Structure 1
């Protein structure tokens, strides 16, 4: 049998990425010597509650105080596009969002704002996110008012060179993205890069002009400081809304990283699509992060 380290050393980037193809191989990789200490590039946690896994992942990245300083304003961007109850997996689970709000408040944040540019009316309430956020001390911000979006140029973009971006993202001291992991009929996957679509006013322009390139381009409007991917019950078909709970599979997993490309690359592996999501590969080409998971210091945590 070929030694695994020899194989990885001799493969190209996409080939090496394919070595981590699904949840089991993501968690089965042996930790490198440097992974035992220091701050990892990516944290992969499984078999806890959503709140437990969020807290553990953020703690492993240095704690929320590594991202949020006392007196700062934080904006959290979940996916709240659909007026669907939490059990359908269409939106970020309220427990995930509320836990992030709590951690930010504990770190001394002056204000924690939460918003999305929803596709359905009533999504804030129907998703359960509004109630959870307000109970945790956060503030829901209107994402459906064009007046809250500011025309912004994107000089590093290849196609999505200008757009109206929500001022909460542009003005916040700290920006956290926290979508659920889902199948998507247009982009193949919803994860942290795709979640950026909810920060701009004209999403239709992205769909009409090479969606994958525009997703990668849009990250440049403002890269998140912290990325959290809720993969507790990923939607594996009929996304982004889903038909019923049969579209979900139980993974009991949560990912966290400062690197938006790395976390989406790991998310693709959880959907058995490693190396196949074009906007993730474009993100690496554009210098937004690292898609080759074999190059990363990954901290794997099993809370069982």
Structure 2
């Protein structure tokens, strides 16, 4: 099963992104996320600004799930990476924007059913005008792919990578440090066994 709760019409988003075609070729099904009935309310006991959220049934009913964001600039959160991508599995995104967005992003990542892998696509990153973009001048062909079960670590690496394309200090993306404070993962990349592959 493949799904996202995009800003625009889900059918167009799936088709335009190539997700629909890739899912079909792999034998997967793209499911909608545009109705509240597709979501169930869950408790976020470790949350500081967010105590409940409606999460898509595809996540709640899955055995395992994999988080696959595209690296891009975002007006409110500064960057969309793995942690911010959780907003694609929830219904009530308006609450996030109205109630300490960066903290809510960190809070939702404390939910007990975490992705087994975070695979962020930085082949083409959107350096400006995110999350939708306005023109090809917003895009940098960066040719990167980052994979980790540690969502804070992979987002730390992603933020550092993005900073090479456009000045975006890590401390500006505060949901990452807030996630570390909540015990979601680590920002200390030096303590990790990182494998770098050039193709």
Same fold flag (TM > 0.5):
yes
Q: Deviations over 1:140-171 (max 9, x none)?
A: 11111211100111111111110111111011
Q: Which residue of 2 aligns with 1:125?
A: 15
Q: Deviations over 1:89-145 (max 9, x none)?
A: xxxxxxxxxxxxxxxxxxxxxxxx001112111212222211221121101111112
- Structure 1 residue matching 2:83: 3-state secondary structure: helix
Over the aligned positions, Cα root-mean-square deviation in angstroms equals 1.1
Q: Which residue of 2 aligns with 1:275?
A: 170
- The offset of 1:220, in angstroms, is 2.0
Q: Distance in 2 between matches of 1:176 and 1:185?
A: 25
> 5 Å matches for 1:206-245?
206-221=96-111, 222-245=113-136
Q: Which residue of 1 aligns with 2:47?
A: 157
Among 174, 185, 194, the alignment partner of 2:64 is 174
Consecutive unaligned residues of structure 1, counting only runs of 5 or more, are 1-112
Q: Distance in 1 between matches of 2:169 and 2:153?
A: 11
| TM-score for both structures, normalised by structure 1 | 0.61
- Structure 2 residue matching 1:140: 3-state secondary structure: coil
Contact residue 47 and residue 110 of structure 2 kept, 8 A? yes
Consecutive unaligned residues of structure 2, counting only runs of 5 or more, are none
Q: Distance in 2 between matches of 1:127 and 1:253?
A: 18
Among 260, 263, 268, the alignment partner of 2:151 is 260
Q: Deviations over 1:154-207 (max 9, x none)?
A: 111111110111111011111100011001111000000000001111100000
Structure showing greater radius of gyration is 1
- Structure 2 residue matching 1:234: 3-state secondary structure: strand
Larger relative contact order (Cα-Cα within 8 Å, sequence gap ≥ 6): 1
Deviating more after overlay: 266-275 vs 239-248:
266-275
| TM-score for both structures, normalised by structure 2 | 0.93
